[in-house]
Each structure stands twice: as structure tokens, then as C-alpha cells.
Amino acid sequence: MSSDIDEAEEAVRVRFIVNGSKVTCAVAPRDTLVDCLRNSLELTGTHAGCEMGACGACLVQLDGRAVHACLMFAVQADGARVDTIEGLSESGAIADLQAEFHRRNALQCGFCTPGMLINAHELLARVAEPSREAIRDALSGNFCRCTGYEAIIDAIAAVAEARVDRAAQEREAASR
Amino acid sequence: MSAPLTSLDRPNSYIGRAVPRPNAKRLLAGRGRYVTDIRLPRMLHAAFLRSPYAHARIVAIDTGQARALAGVHLVAAGTDIAKVCTPWTGTLDHFKGMTSEPQLPLPLDRVVWAGQAVVAVVAESRAIAEDALELISVDYEELPAVVDLDAARQPGTPRVNPAGQSNICFRTQLDSGGVDEAFAAAAHVIEQEFSFGRHTPVTLEPRAIVADYDPEAGMLTVHHATQTPYQFQDLYARHYGIPEARVRVIAPDIGGSFGLKLHVYHEDMAVVGLSMLLGRPVKFVADRIESFVSDIHARDHRVRARMAVDADGKILAMDVHDATAIGAFSTYPRTSVVEGNQVIRLIGAPYDFKSYRAALEVVFQNKVQTSQYRAVGHPIACAVTERMVDLAAASVGLDPFAIRARNVIPDDAYPTASPTGYKFEALSHQVCLQRLHEIMNYDALRAEQAELRQRGIHRGIGIATFVEITNPSPAFYGVGGARISSQDGATISLTPSGEVRCAISVTEQGQGTEAIISQIVADQLGLAQEHVKVITGDTEVTPHGGATWACRGAGIGGETALQAARKLKANILEIAALVLQEQPAALDIIDGEVVNAATRQPRLAIAEIARIAYFRSDTLPPGTQAQLTVSHHFAPQGYPFAFTNGIQGCYVEVDVDTGFIKLLKHFVVEDCGRIINPMLVDEQVRGGVVQGLGAALFEECRYGETGQLLNGSLADYLVPMAMEMPDIVIAHVETPTADTALGAKGCGEAGTAAASACVLNAVNDALAPFCASINAVPITPARVLEALGRF
Ligand code: FES
Ligand code: FES
């Protein structure tokens, strides 16, 4: 048996906070974060479409920022906070995006969808009311083969508008 | 003022309503369950060693070291799997004279494309299996590879199959007569050569399969990312000698299919054999690079076309030759000649002319197999036809709309047939043409184009009329001897609580099959949609059927569900009549209540009928056996196909310095008959258009001289992304087919069918002032600059 296979089989203990819970898991040094999430933690909502950072299916939040889970080794995420589609769904953080995607049928097979939602969530956290052009641009690393993208753009734009309106109402209510 | 009441204002009227898909919520929460997600107890993982050569003899395979690696359970080469699997041949009887070599999951002594799987390793994890692949050595003796289509057709070229007579898989011709006379009499003759590159479906979820053979039960269960589970049940049973009823194929959530996931792939067949050899579940998920070299590719045609027109721009005749290269084998069980066959039969389809001649040549080469992909043959037929029509318009001096108006089959001419023999029940080209003119705001676009041209901005407008084959009857594959069903089945039950479950053979890959079936069932039964549960994709649970391909989900599956629901409703009303001492005809169901049909007065909840029938049958009159589960099968009769038609338009801008093309806006008018869910139809059309636009501008599988795929990754093979895609305006015309009660035709391929043709025409329109012309797809910047003489 060659020695590099020995090495590959060696397990490393990593710890992270996944969707709000402390998690320890044993991973091989060559395991990517997407492997670890999907296989060890059974969080299969994070998908792998290309494993080279091109398709966006594997996006997760790492310490609050969207990252490609296929481009990162699990060991590199040691100590980090990881939020996946499952956690973001359960916390309600993206409930409005999910509802709008549903209402407009902004998904078909749904394989790209978790990555799309995480990217949309990230975009709206940075830019309150992006133009359609800016939304299209922000999604340029998320590949969808089923939809024509348009419903996705519409859904994100509608959520942005609703969030801005709600924030304005809340400000108004607070100032009264 | 309130709008007049329509049929949609009735309670439970779901046909024609844009309701969201119930199953989409699960997918949005990351709770989809794709085959890639499935993990079974004691499951092992397969990986494949692939051929580095496009054509080579296998001299020796040494697997000793790989077998010795800890965690490896099996290393199998061609001969090992051939012991349990019988070979297959991708021919159909009605394609007379067609040839193709028999195939096995793994080759015995010769590889025929670069990327072909040669040796399988099954191990505790995919990573260990891949480690083991590196320890296998294969001695190859390289053979001459046939790479280029034209070279493959030359006599004296090395043969892809040494046992064959030539590299020709199939040849056929059509001739409706009068072609030479028409050309002799024509005022204008247009002649053109076209080339269409290979591309590949690129579903976002790659191919995936988990095969689980239980030797004690003699039972095979396969979780398979496929659109056609029944077809695979039949294939696994026959090729592995397992009784059909002991083969179960489950297709859970599928991450895109587009025709890709209905063909037989060598690795998938191998995985079934590996599981049988091991008696354990075995999983294989293609990675993206494997997908590029082993998924089917499509298109790859060279077409020569001539068109004869009279002085007024009336089309008199067409004469075409299509040569298409399909790789080293014809795919099984549908064959790789269907695309070419459809190209020559669909060319000219929207137009009213009599004289048509076509020849088709299907050619082998040392590349991965090509086969059916979304809108089989349509984009090629449409691009050739529509480009020729535009060229004819230019030589006669007509506007593209005007020449089409002069030539499309008039809306009052039906029923009629195309010169190639397709029978058309009722199409709506004239109305569609008119609608497109309106929604494009055509005259304003032309004015804008002219004005911008003055300022050196080169925009182009392209339109393309199309006819799409949907709802195929047994005349499609059945006549050729393929065990591919054109019928579908539904089993529908009233549950003890008064809800409805419908198990149906049409499958879901995201297009919304489950949603439209529940709409149809709820509508017909008079129930709220949320009380209908639809089950798809499991051969053990749902009746046999063709499932979802060639746009048959709504037209055939929907009709099956409709008829099944009507049967169940009749049975429910029969029991209700007994309970209420009424005539069944005097009763109806609204919102889950049995009502008096005339007064709509509620009489009895159907939940109560279910309760009585299931738990208190003693209270029903003697001799009553309540039939609250019914099964219904439906196969199309009447017209062999229900044709959808429509027209697309697009507006593009060409940067004549860089060759870059910007899509500004796209327009679609389509007529898919009765629309069940307008939102889903629109999204299907949009998705289809975008796939067609990808083909038009970006997608091409590029090969090197030795037959290596040069761009087999998502970084190198360009697919359309949000940034490059335009907004897509859609309008509908509804001409229901009279062949079914539902009246629906397909719409899933309509978008793809005409998108490349539209872009081709638009780019050529933009280049018109330069007298430059492009007749190749994809239209890359390099091709644009070449056409402009700048490259
Ligand atoms: S799987 Fe990570 S970007 Fe495609
Ligand atoms: S919905 Fe299928 S890839 Fe986006």
C-alpha cells in the first residue's frame, strides 16, 4: 500500500457550529466541506454540481458569508460557523425569499435552488435594493439549467422591495 | 365594474390556473431527496477507469494492486460483467438497414471513445475507489481514430467498427415528387450549408444510480436518476435475467433530465451488475468531468439545403441533405438516428409547399454517443428552414414577417399534412405571427434598429416559426420494436378520510408534473387541490407507462389522470346515490361535498362516503362492493402526434469589433393547446428558450485531432448564466387538440426548438450591412469576426 493512501485515510477531528449546533466530526484531510456536510452530517440540501467553483450549487454561509463548500477542505472550516440551507430554512432567515420563489415558480428541479437562495440572501444583506441588472450580475456564479433565470430575478427583486418597504414602515412606527 | 365570471370562478376549477407547485416547498427548504443524496445500509461506491484513447485495442489489464488495496471490494473488467449481463444493440426495426455494434457495460477488447469506462472498482468510499483506479494498469494498442464527420464519410477511412462495412449507421431519403421541376421553374434558388456543433444537456445534478440486489429475495431495487423508470425496469430485468416484477426502479427527485436521463449508459448498467456480483448496494454518481465524456451529446449535423421560391416569395420546393455524426454506437433503446430522422421530417414543417426531397446520413465516429436531447432535431430543422426563409425574403425583397405570412399553412387549412407526411390536426401559425408582431412592437424595433445603425450600433431582429412534436403515439418507438410505452397509467383512490391519492406513471423532474396532475384530478373530482396527493416515479407503486419524455406529461399523463378521476367520481357518486336514495346523475361533487347537481345543495361529505364504504359496508345494500380505487390507462389514438406550434423573435446587438453578441430581448408566442397551469407553461418555455440560447451562442463540445474532448468542465464549456440571458416575453394561443378530453399538447421543447434559429437570423440581420453571413451554431465571437473578415 502506498504511503499517500495511508495519509488520505488519516482522520482529522474538526469542530464547527453548524446551523447553530456544536458539531465534531472526523474527516480525511482531502474531504471538502461539501463532502463533510453531505456525507458526515447528512445535510444533503447543499448540492455539488461541478466541484470546481463554477456552478454555485454548493454555496453555504461560513461565518455569515457565502462560500463555495466545494472549494474548501473541511479542515479549513475548523472553528467556523457554518449555515446551510437547512439551518437558514429552520431559522426563518430566508422565509420571505423561499415564499417568493415558491409563488413565482422560480425553481424547477430544485437542484440549484439552495445555492441560489444563499446567494440571494447574501446579495440582499449587502445591497438593500439591487437593480435587476445587479441581481443578474450577482447570480453570475449560480448556474440553473431548468429555469430561464427570469423568475428568480423577479423573486429576488420583489423580496428586496418588500424588505425595504417593511424597514421603512418599522422606522416610521418607531418614530411615532 | 367586475369582470364577467369565467369557468375559473367555479370552485375547484384548477385547469388553466397559475397555482404554485406543492412539491416546490420541500425543494426550497433543502429537503429534496435526489439519488445523489441516497445512502443505503452497507452501501459501496463505484468508480470507473476510463480510456485515454479515442480508439484502441485493450491488450492487457492488471488489477492486482487495486484489488489489494484496503477497502476495495471488487475490481471488475468487461469479461466479469459480461458473465451476468447480456449485450444490447441500439437499432430499431423500422429504420431499415440500420446497424450498430452490440454493446456491453464494459468493453471486452476494444475502446471506441476517449472517456469510455473500461474497469470498475467498488470500494468503501468513492475516494478509495478512485485511489484504486490509479493502481490499475491497462496496456492499450492505439488504433486510428475517426474524429471528423466529413472524414468519417470518406471511403477508405478507417472504420469505427472494424466488423462493419463502412462508417454509415443509417441512410434514408424522402421525396414527395416534383422537386427538380420546381427548381427549374423557380425565380430564385437559395443554397446554403450549415454546421451545428455538438453540445450536451448538462443537467445540474449529474447522472446518479444506487443499485441494490438482494440475492436471497432475487430482487433488484434501483434508485435511479431517470425520467423513465419503467423502461429501466424492463431493461434491467431482461439484460440481467431477473423477473420483471422483482425489479423495482425508483426515481425520486431528479435534478434535471432534458432527455439525458432516459438513455442507457454503460456505467449505469455496470453498477447493476456490480451490485449483483457483490450482493450489496452500489452507488455511482458521475462527477462533472465524467458527465462531459460519458453523458450523451447531441446535434452535430452538417446540412446542405436548397430552396426554390417564385417571384412573389412563395416557397416551391426544398431539397436537403443532413449528415450527422453520432459517436461509436447508436444509443439504446431509442437509437441515435431519431434526431436526424426528425431533422429531415421537420424541415419546412410550418410552410405550405408540396415538393420536398431529403437525404439523411448517420455516421459513426470515435466520440461518445449522441442521442435525444430536449427538442430532438427541432433546433436544427428550425434553424435550417428559418434561415432559408430569411435568405429567400432577402432575394425577393420581402420583410421576414411578410414572407412568413405568405407561406405558413393558413389557419383555416386544417387538417392537413406536411410534405414529409406529418399529419396536422390544427395549428395557428397566422394568429401566432400576428401576435408576435404585436408583442415585439416590430415596427418600432425596426425604426430603432435603423436609427442606431446610423450611429454604428448594430442590432438585429430575428424571427423563427416552429412546429413541435408532442404526445407521440406508438408509431414513434413501438413500431420499431422498442419496449418503450406510449401509454400511461394512473391508479387513483379515495382514502378512508376522504382524500385522494393518485399514483401515476408520468414522472417529475421539476417541470411540475405532480402539480398539474393534482390540478386535473382536483378539478375533475370537485376537491380542493391540497386534498390530492400525487405519487410518481416508483415502478412498484405506480402503473406502467412511458413516463416523461417528448412532451407527453400533460397531453398523455394529464389525460390519463383526467379519465381516471372521472371514473372514480362516477364510483363515488354511485355509492352516494345508494346512501342518499338518489340517482347518481342527480348528484355532483363540489368542494369535497356531494351536492344536488341541479340546486348545488350539499347532501353528504365525500369523507362520509369513504367512512361508510371502508368501515361500515354492512350499512350498504347487499351486493354492493364499493370501488374506491380505480386504474385507468390511456394511449393516444387519432393523430400520431399532437403538434404544438408557435413563433419566436429576438433582438440582439452585435459588437462588430469584438464579435460579442448581447441578447436584448426574446419573445415567444406558442400554442400548446389547453393550458393547465399558465405559470408552469411560461417557466417551461423560458427554461427551454435559455437552453436554446445556450446552444445558439455558447455551448459546444470541442474535440482535438485525436478525439479528446478539450472542454470537459464547467469552466471551459459555457452554459447560459443569468447575466447573459434576456428577459423573455411570452404570449399564448390556445388550440386544444380534439383527440383528448383535456386538449393539452406539450410545451417543454417549444422554447428550445426555435431559439437558435431566431438568434441566427437576428445576428445575420445585424451583419447585413456588412454583407457578412453566418451559418454555423454556436455563433461564437470568433465566427462573427471571421464572417466580418476581421479574424
Ligand atoms: S459544486 Fe461548488 S460551485 Fe459547483
Ligand atoms: S431548477 Fe433545476 S437547475 Fe435550477
Domain spans in chain A, listed from the N-terminal domain onward = 12-89, 94-174
Closest CA–CA distance from residue A79 to any residue of chain B (Å): 24
Q: Whose CA is nearest to atom 2 of ligand 2?
A: A109
Of B20, B37, B202, the CB nearest to A102: B20
Q: Is residue B679 less than 8 Å (CB to CB) from chain A?
A: yes
Task: Tell me: pLDDT of B656 over 70.
Answer: yes
Q: Which CATH superfamily is domain A94-174 in?
A: [2Fe-2S]-binding domain (1.10.150.120)
Task: Tell me: pLDDT of A9 over 80.
Answer: no
pTM (2 d.p.): 0.95
Any atom of ligand 1 within 6 Å of the Cβ of A141: no
B510 alpha carbon – ligand 2 mean position (Å): 8
Coil, helix or strand at residue B245: helix
Tens-digit pLDDT profile for residues B609-641: 999 999 999 999 999 999 999 999 999 888 889
Closest CA–CA distance from residue B725 to any residue of chain A (Å): 8
Burial code (b: 16+ CB inside 10 Å, e: under 16) for B326-362 equals: bbbbbbbbbbbbbbbbbbbbbbbbbbbbebbbbbbbb
Tens-digit pLDDT profile for residues B150-170: 999 988 899 999 888 899 999
Q: How confident is the model at residue B1 (pLDDT cuts 50, 70, 90)?
A: very low
Tens-digit pLDDT profile for residues B574-589: 999 999 999 999 999 9
Task: Tell me: pLDDT of B660 over 50.
Answer: yes
- What single-letter amino acid sits at B311? A
Q: What is the ipTM of this complex?
A: 0.95
The distance of Cα A4 from the centroid of its chain, to the nearest Å, equals 33
Counts for chain A of helices (H) and strands (E), in that order: 7, 5
B383 alpha carbon – ligand 1 mean position (Å): 34
| Mean pLDDT score across all residues of chain B | 95
- Subunit contact B509:A109, Cβ cutoff 8 A: yes
Q: Is residue B25 less than 8 Å (CB to CB) from chain A?
A: yes
Of A45, A109, A145, the CB nearest to B30: A45
Q: What is the pLDDT of residue B9?
A: 75
A152 alpha carbon – ligand 2 mean position (Å): 11
- Mean pLDDT across B312-317: 97
Determine what percent of chain B is predicted with pLDDT higher than 70. 99
User: What class is the A12-89 domain?
Assistant: alpha beta
Look up residue B312 and give its three cell numbers. 412573389
Q: Could you give the C-alpha distances from A35 to A24, A71, B125, B151, in angstroms and in order?
A: 15, 11, 11, 45
Cβ neighbours, 10 Å, residue A42: 11
- The ligand whose atoms approach the alpha carbon of B202 most closely is 2
Q: How confident is the model at residue B479 (pLDDT cuts 50, 70, 90)?
A: confident
Give the whole-angstrom CA distance, residue B376 versus residue B749: 8
- By most ligand atoms within 8 Å of CB, the mutation choice from A55, A73, A118 for ligand 1 is A55
Q: Whose CA is nearest to atom 3 of ligand 2?
A: A144
Determine what percent of chain B is predicted with pLDDT higher than 90. 92
Helix B750-767 to helix B378-396 angle (10° resolution) is 30
Tens-digit pLDDT profile for residues B114-128: 999 999 999 999 999
Q: How is residue B636 annotated by DSSP?
A: -
Tens-digit pLDDT profile for residues B542-568: 999 988 887 888 999 999 999 999 999
Give the whole-angstrom CA distance, residue B77 versus residue B79: 6
Give the whole-angstrom CA distance, residue B574 versus residue B628: 10
- Mean pLDDT across B264-291: 97
Coil, helix or strand at residue B662: strand
Beta bridge partners of B210: B223, B283
Judge whether B755 and B374 are in contact, CB under 8 Å: no
Tens-digit pLDDT profile for residues B42-52: 999 999 999 99
| Contacts A1 to B, Cβ<8 Å | 68-70
Give the whole-angstrom CA distance, residue B142 versus residue B152: 18
- What single-letter amino acid sits at A84? T
A1 vs A110, higher pLDDT: A110
Give the whole-angstrom CA distance, residue B280 versus residue B271: 11
Burial code (b: 16+ CB inside 10 Å, e: under 16) for B752-765 equals: bbbbbbbbbbbbbb
A52 alpha carbon – ligand 1 mean position (Å): 5
- Mean pLDDT across B696-725: 95
Q: Is residue B585 less than 8 Å (CB to CB) from chain A?
A: no
- Which of B367, B366, B377 lies closest to B337 in space, CA to CA? B377
Judge whether B612 and B580 are in contact, CB under 8 Å: no
Residues with CB under 6 A from ligand 2: A 107-113, 144-147; B 204, 256, 510
The DSSP bridge pattern shows strands A12-18 and A81-83 to be parallel
Q: Could you give the C-alpha distances from B174 to B92, B111, B347, B360, B656, in angstroms and in order?
A: 18, 35, 12, 9, 41
- Residue B65, judged by CB atoms within 10 A of its CB (0-12, 13-18, 19+), counts as middle
Tens-digit pLDDT profile for residues B483-532: 888 899 999 999 999 999 999 999 999 999 999 999 999 999 999 999 99
Three-class DSSP labels, B568-625:
HHHHHHHHHHHHHCCCHHHEEEECCEEEECCCCCEEEEHHHHHHHHHHCHHHCCCCCC
B36 alpha carbon – ligand 1 mean position (Å): 14
Q: How confident is the model at residue B471 (pLDDT cuts 50, 70, 90)?
A: confident
Tens-digit pLDDT profile for residues B166-195: 999 999 999 999 999 999 999 999 999 999
Q: What is the pLDDT of residue A2?
A: 47
Tens-digit pLDDT profile for residues B389-422: 999 999 999 999 999 999 999 999 999 999 888 9
Give the whole-angstrom CA distance, residue B531 versus residue B525: 11
- Which of A106, A107, A135, A133 lies closest to A123 in space, CA to CA? A135
- Subunit contact A147:B686, Cβ cutoff 8 A: yes
| Contacts A111 to B, Cβ<8 Å | 32, 34, 203-205, 255-256
